[in-house]
Structure 1
Amino acid sequence: MTDGELDTVGKASRLLVHLGTVPEGATLSELSRATGFPMSSAHRLLASLRRQDFVTFDAESKRYSLGLRLFQLGAAVSSARGFTGIALPVMKQLSETTGEATLMSVRDGHHQLYIHHVEARHNVGVKGETGKLGPLHCTSMGKVLIAFADYDTREELIENVELKPFTPRTIVDRATFRHEIGRVRAQGFAVADEEHETGIRAIGVPVLGPLGTVVAALSVPSPAYRTTLAAAMQFLPPLREAAERLTVLLPHP
């Protein structure tokens, strides 16, 4: 089908499909070149998609990215096809083992998107917010989502993700951040020691796809007053076991 034969829905779909191949997003001119649409047409379609939350726009970088409405639709399909039914039992078992909360996230551009959580058995625990965006650079899940991405994506994130200071412990130096991601990749897990929130420690591991790149991240967060770093390391074996189970059980494209 030629561009001239595409209807409005077909053109919008082509824009969305292309955005799905560029996790860092794309400018209007890049989208125009990639799809073959005039910039005026592409801009009009993108404006409509933004109004429906299918697309987001970063005013600083001038880049368009896929929006949360697509995640919501994808989550509904995923749940219907068993993703939630597979992930949550594994996460619940992990929380039973550790006594702490279990969180799961995926990468959404330069952020992570929390997709599942299981609460801790304790009265005081870390609560996840499904559907909320969070930072990559200062969380255990965010670090593994960067460290186990494909090489090009990993390099782009290391160089360009915002190193916003959330606490005095947040890594804000680019060279130090690069070293941290290399260490995470070498050891196979990440620790966030009060880097995102004061009083919260977390350990996270990647859930890998068939090609060895990350498809999701799992973490066990806990209050720092209850869990020392040494105690947090005791969560690593069951975390890895859960991630390995999900690698086998989760459907892959």
Structure 2
Amino acid sequence: MSINDRAYDVRGGTGLTSAIDDSSKTMSREELYRAPALDKGLDILELLASRSDALTRAEIVKELGRGASEIYRMLERLVARGYVYRSVEGDRFSLSMKLFVLGQHHPPLRRLTSRAAPMMDAFALEAGQSCHLVVRERDAAVVVANAAASGDWVFTVRVGTPIDLLATSSGQLFLAFQDHQSRSELVAHWRGTEREDAFRKLEPLLSDYHEAGYRIDKSQQIFGVSDISVPILSSEGHAIAILTCPYIQRMGEQPADMQRTLAMLQGVARELSV
């Protein structure tokens, strides 16, 4: 019986329909709901996540045992959507931080900001200084919460402001407390650019910041402001967020000097650390 005959018999009610229904019941749930394209994309992401070094397309094809053309199409889409970085030379691929960022927008980030908000407000009131909370976003960072000091003359950084990892206090402290793999991914992404040179020059300072556990220095964006930054740490000792106070020296008596402000900021960070 031909395929067409079978189709005709099904429509004619020969009983083949029930046979097909019975066979479908024996199929596993995994077989019934397969999504090959999605599987290929997830295979690539999981492979790149398991490697500290960037892989060539040929290496990915070999590791996954799939056709070169299907891997090419999937990689192009993952690069276009920002889940995978392509090297400057264009021949190597590594996992971006987008999955991490998506996770940050999930409840853990909301829990962090909701916990941090009252503590930051209390700090701003007692210290007479503003502060803001920063999290990583790919090869940069972003302000996700802030608290303004009371008074007529205040300085705040608005929520949503992008933060450069290399040229800000918050960014540099993030680099100082990043795990080895995250730092390697950044260096791989910056390889062959001016940003790699800037990072290499910063490395000795990053070690100092890590040893000290904080960073205090003049703001690289605003004259007359000294940035005080402290890390909020995971159980492994890596930065999950940075708390920064843009300290302003006012005329007359200060509610808290710089060292007292640092101690207060560190107290908030300890409360928020995992």
Residue 126 (structure 2) aligns with: 97
Summarize the alignment of residues 21-170 of structure 1 with structure 2, pairs less than 5 Å apart. 28=57, 32=61, 35-49=64-78, 53-55=81-83, 57=85, 60=88, 62=90, 63=93, 65-66=95-96, 71-72=101-102, 74-78=104-108, 82-122=111-151, 123-130=153-160, 132-151=161-180, 153-154=182-183
- What is the SS of the residue equivalent to 2:210? helix
Native 8 Å contact 1:191 1:202 kept in 2: yes
State the shift of 1:158 in Å. Answer: 7.7
Native 8 Å contact 2:120 2:147 kept in 1: yes
Unpaired stretches in structure 1, ≥5 consecutive residues: 165-170, 249-253
Selected match of 1:203 from 228, 236, 255: 228
Residues in 2 aligned to 1:200 and 1:34: alpha-carbon distance in whole angstroms:
51
Residues in 1 aligned to 2:179 and 2:114: alpha-carbon distance in whole angstroms:
28
1:214-236 Cα shifts (integer Å, max 9, x gaps): 222111124567799x9433321
Structure with higher helix content: 2
Native 8 Å contact 1:146 1:157 kept in 2: no
Residues in 1 aligned to 2:203 and 2:164: alpha-carbon distance in whole angstroms:
16
Native 8 Å contact 1:119 1:126 kept in 2: yes
Residue 266 (structure 2) aligns with: 240
Native 8 Å contact 1:24 1:109 kept in 2: no
Unpaired stretches in structure 2, ≥5 consecutive residues: 1-29
Residues in 2 aligned to 1:178 and 1:96: alpha-carbon distance in whole angstroms:
35
Residues in 2 aligned to 1:12 and 1:129: alpha-carbon distance in whole angstroms:
33
- What is the SS of the residue equivalent to 1:125? coil
State the shift of 1:195 in Å. Answer: 2.0
Residue 218 (structure 1) aligns with: 243
State the shift of 1:156 in Å. Answer: 7.2
State the shift of 1:145 in Å. Answer: 1.3
State the shift of 1:65 in Å. Answer: 4.6
Residue 167 (structure 1) aligns with: none
State the shift of 1:148 in Å. Answer: 1.9
Residue 218 (structure 2) aligns with: 193
Native 8 Å contact 2:83 2:95 kept in 1: yes
Selected match of 1:184 from 202, 209, 221: 209
- What is the SS of the residue equivalent to 1:91? helix
1:100-131 Cα shifts (integer Å, max 9, x gaps): 3222223344322333333343443122332x
- Matched AA of 2:177: F
Residue 44 (structure 2) aligns with: 15
- Specify the structure having the higher radius of gyration (Cα): 2
- What is the SS of the residue equivalent to 1:128? coil
TM-score by length of 2: 0.65
TM-score by length of 1: 0.69
State the shift of 1:155 in Å. Answer: 7.0
Give RMSD over aligned pairs: 4.1
